[in-house]
Structure 1
Amino acid sequence: MPAPLPMELRERFARLIGEGLTGREASRRLQVSAATGGRWARQIRSSGSAPVALMGRPPGTGKLAAHVGFFRELVMQDPDITLFELRNAFAEAEGATVHHSAIASLLKRLGFTHKKGRWWPPSDDVQR
């Protein structure tokens, strides 16, 4: 994800707007896109500054957000359940399809982890 533009640039932009330039003129002078210049100019005129906005999708959204309890309950009932079994149970219960990697991401956010076990029997060529 790209980083937001620095506050120093935003402050220079605010000074140019304060001097009477339009958002488009100030953005051209600082080599910022016209859309960014217009957005910053509106923010500066309404609130006095152009703060850095949050980037990305807000947490708690997505197809599986409403079904957190369903997955938590299934994993608590059977800790050894696979992602594909969870996917199939969800499809049967809700009638919706979802990719197993989305379920894995949800379970990771909920604090469930997967620890790989050792190979058994151990191979003879490995030093112990």
Structure 2
Amino acid sequence: MSAPLPSALRARFQRYIEEGLSGRAAAARLKLSPATGARWRHQIQTTGRADPAVQGRPKGSGKLAPHVGFFEELIAQDPDI
């Protein structure tokens, strides 16, 4: 997965929206896709900001999550493992 676009770009986009441009027009000025412009505009209208979404898998949902207690106990017995 690629990194989110910089927050400076998002701030410029938000200024264009506040100046009255549509999401598509602001995206065209910044050379973004129209879909990104529409998505960011919607996010600005609902939350007031265009922050990047959280990326990655949620913590504690991996294959070893059911065995965390066992590993903690094992490490507590011998911390030099």
On whether the aligned pair clears a TM of 0.5, the verdict is: yes
Specify whether residues 57 and 34 from structure 1 end up closer, same or farther in structure 2 by C-alpha distance, changes over 3 A only: farther
Q: Which structure would you say has the larger RCO, counting Cα contacts within 8 Å and 6 or more residues apart?
A: 2
CA separation in 1, counterparts of 2:4 and 2:80?
Answer: 32
Aligned residues: 78
Task: Give CA-to-partner distance per residue, 1:32-57, whole Å, 9 cap, x none.
Answer: 22332222111111122112332211
CA separation in 2, counterparts of 1:48 and 1:66?
Answer: 39
CA separation in 1, counterparts of 2:51 and 2:38?
Answer: 14
Task: Give CA-to-partner distance per residue, 1:13-39, whole Å, 9 cap, x none.
Answer: 111112222222211221122332222
Partner in structure 1 of residue 48 of structure 2: 48
Query: Which structure's CA Rg is the greater one?
Result: 1
Task: Give CA-to-partner distance per residue, 1:75-115, whole Å, 9 cap, x none.
Answer: 83xx9xxxxxxxxxxxxxxxxxxxxxxxxxxxxxxx885xx
| Consecutive unaligned residues in structure 1, runs of 5 or more | 80-110, 114-128
Compute the TM-score of the two structures, normalised by the length of structure 1: 0.48
CA separation in 1, counterparts of 2:14 and 2:45?
Answer: 9
Specify whether residues 112 and 34 from structure 1 end up closer, same or farther in structure 2 by C-alpha distance, changes over 3 A only: farther
Compute the TM-score of the two structures, normalised by the length of structure 2: 0.70
Could you tell me how far 1:10 is from its partner in structure 2? 0.8
Partner in structure 1 of residue 19 of structure 2: 19
Partner in structure 1 of residue 31 of structure 2: 31
The percentage of aligned residue pairs carrying the same residue is 55
